[in-house]
Structure 1
Amino acid sequence: MSWTEEEQDKKESQAVSSSSLQAEEHKPVDNTDAKLWQLLEKTLSDTVVEKRRARRWKIFFRFTTLFFIAAVIGVATVQMTPSTAGLDKDTVAIIPMRGVIGSGADIEASDYLQLLDEAYRRHNLTGVVIEMNSPGGSPVHAGIIYDAIRQKESLYPNIPVIVVVEDLAASGGYYIASAANEIYADKASLVGSIGVISAGWDASELLDKIGVERRTFTAGRNKDFLDPFVPMSKEGKEKWQAVLDETHQQFIHAVKVGRGERLTITDDVFSGMVFTGAQAEQIGLIDGLSSAHNLLKTRFANATPIVFAPEHDPWEKVAKEFGVQFATKILTSFSLH
């Protein structure tokens, strides 16, 4: 058997007509009864119309649902299918590094080590371009990323790693950049700041002036040497300075290894001073003046750029902002700036 909407409508129309004829045949003479029959006939007619509308909307929603399901399947199929660009054409990885370096910060070592691994898994990778814009941060995370880049360069010597500085590659940002095969920047970019800083204050006399006694219990004579309400001893100053000096030497060594003979060592290079891109080129901190756009057009004109960036939940940053602990603050104060 077959069924169509037209046939169903025809049957319902015939039923209404039949009811109308029967009503006409048995139509009483009374005006009140006539009005009732007319009302009944109108009600039946309206019911048929509503049924027609309901069927049409049902068919519409069925087709819409079917189309949506087909679209979802199509998108999933495209995503699961290997990219033709990745199979047929050379690619260049773009890795943006923007913000402060450290645990829970914008540039976290674990995130970027994973991104590097993902980029190098592409068999047709011809280069890695890191877009750097960082004031620095944790020397630990900067060192981890530095070592990871150097390791990739030794394993894949034919794939150059190039850092392009945007506004800033200072301190930890330059620590990471110095691992690259080449570094480029704008003439007005700020580059360098090869030094270490630990900032704090001495408020040991403040409590006495306001009549407050602070009670702190420690095990170990130097446990509270960074406490701003306790005078720092000579021993504490000497040992903390030794820590900073050692970290500075690690930074200097990394830069010397990364830049090699291109670096011209002057009194200012490792003093923590920052340089413009034009000045940095003269002393070998960078290899030239360029932008990521120009570099891609000239060096990787035939390669497809693919961006590798960490994905974060929008609420993750909020959670991190409110979840900072005291230990994190202490480590943050011991940063490369």
Structure 2
Amino acid sequence: MSDLNEPGWERKLLEKLAFENLKETRRRRRWGVFFKLVGFAYVGFILFLTWAWQNGTDSVSDGAAHTAMVEMNGAIGVGDAVNAEQVNLALQSAFEDAGTKGVILRINSPGGSPVQAGMINDEIRRLRAKYKDIPLYAVVEDICASGGYYVAAAADKIFVDKASIVGSIGVRMDGFGFTGAMEKLGVERRLVTAGENKAFLDPFSPQDPKQVQFAHDMLEEIHQQFIDVVRKGRGARLHETPDMFSGLFWTGSKSIELGLADAYGTVDSVARDVIKAEEVRDYTQRENFAERFAKRFGAEVAGGATQALSRVGIK
């Protein structure tokens, strides 16, 4: 109240209000500039993601003569490092390029899904038939086993290192049995099914001989498909032995003796000496920055949403 009795208090009040208004205006301006910068950064980031998405391989389609390379590095399966969709897309791009003189499939794989391996094998055969003047060679580095060899068998030739691991032509089904442990722990298995085989090879129940035989017959059928693919791919080059299709594997040098492989070679030597196009271009479909960001961002959003919903009782 004392301020109101001072002379000129109206002017001081107006000055104070004007000063506060000026500070608020400056504050709004600074935030406006900040949000504009954030907006520009966001647009720039989206443009970068778009560019990265469209540049997933190192290949350049300029028509220059080159050797196209596609890598298979890791286990073969839908959710694994190698899958039919990515490999087949890469192979298609490699064969379609006007400058491709030959294709090298660089293999480092212990195997995996027979379905995915079969799809790649089928696509290789289709592309070789369509582009008759473009050969495809498999180059094995450390390992080409099981499903990896299933794929390699479709190649015109297979090149290895003398110490490479090649073969393992067989099929397996893994599982565990816990019935003994359950008895010791006093755990009772309670299982209700509609369909006598719905709990097929259930690890918490005793093995059913009929189910075991059914599984064995199924594996034998897939194994025979594998054998047929190898025989078709290798033809007269194959020197069959009693244990060739038993699941055993051999060194690269032994695999050449058996006709499972053709010769020693690396990516560079095959490109230079066999295809006669020394420049190697990588057509492998790799997960780029945009895809990694999208997956991680999606997982974080999904995780955050799940936590938020769990707090309100929705699970």
Q: Normalization by structure 1: what TM-score?
A: 0.67
Partner of 2:12: none
Which residue of the other structure, out of 176, 191, 194, is the alignment partner of 2:166?
Answer: 191
Partner of 2:259: 284
Kindly indicate whether residue 147 of structure 2 is the aligned counterpart of residue 147 of structure 1: no
* Residue pairs, 1:1-337, within 5 angstroms: 86-312=61-287, 313-314=291-292
Match for 1:186: what amino acid? D
Match for 1:225: what amino acid? F
For each residue in 1:3-52, what CA deviation from the matched residue of structure 2 results, as whole angstroms up to 9, or x when unmatched? xxxxxxxxxxxxxxxxxxxxxxxxxxxxxxxxxxxxxxxxxxxxxxxxxx
| Deviation of 1:105 (Å) | 0.4
CA–CA separation in structure 1 for the residues paired with 2:223 and 2:204: 27
| Deviation of 1:84 (Å) | 12
CA–CA separation in structure 1 for the residues paired with 2:279 and 2:264: 23
CA–CA separation in structure 1 for the residues paired with 2:170 and 2:205: 27
| Deviation of 1:88 (Å) | 4.9
For each residue in 1:64-87, what CA deviation from the matched residue of structure 2 results, as whole angstroms up to 9, or x when unmatched? xxxxx9xx9xxx9xx99xx99744
Q: Normalization by structure 2: what TM-score?
A: 0.72
Q: CA 1:227/1:236 → structure 2, altered by over 3 Å: closer, same or farther?
A: same
SS of equivalent residue, structure 1 residue 256: helix
Q: State the 4+ residue runs in structure 1 displaced beyond 4 angstroms.
A: 83-86, 315-321
CA–CA separation in structure 2 for the residues paired with 1:118 and 1:177: 19
CA–CA separation in structure 2 for the residues paired with 1:248 and 1:116: 26
Q: Which runs of 5+ in 2 are unaligned?
A: 1-43, 300-315
CA–CA separation in structure 1 for the residues paired with 2:233 and 2:283: 23
Would you say how many aligned residue pairs link Structure 1 and Structure 2?
245
CA–CA separation in structure 1 for the residues paired with 2:131 and 2:293: 37
Q: CA 1:318/1:177 → structure 2, altered by over 3 Å: closer, same or farther?
A: farther
Q: Which runs of 5+ in 1 are unaligned?
A: 1-68, 322-337
Match for 2:183: what amino acid? D
Q: CA contact under 8 A between 1:89 and 1:304: conserved in structure 2?
A: no
C-alpha RMSD of matched pairs (Å): 2.8
Match for 2:89: what amino acid? Q
Q: CA 1:276/1:304 → structure 2, altered by over 3 Å: closer, same or farther?
A: same
| Deviation of 1:199 (Å) | 1.5
Q: CA 1:263/1:98 → structure 2, altered by over 3 Å: closer, same or farther?
A: same
Percent identical pairs in the alignment equals: 39
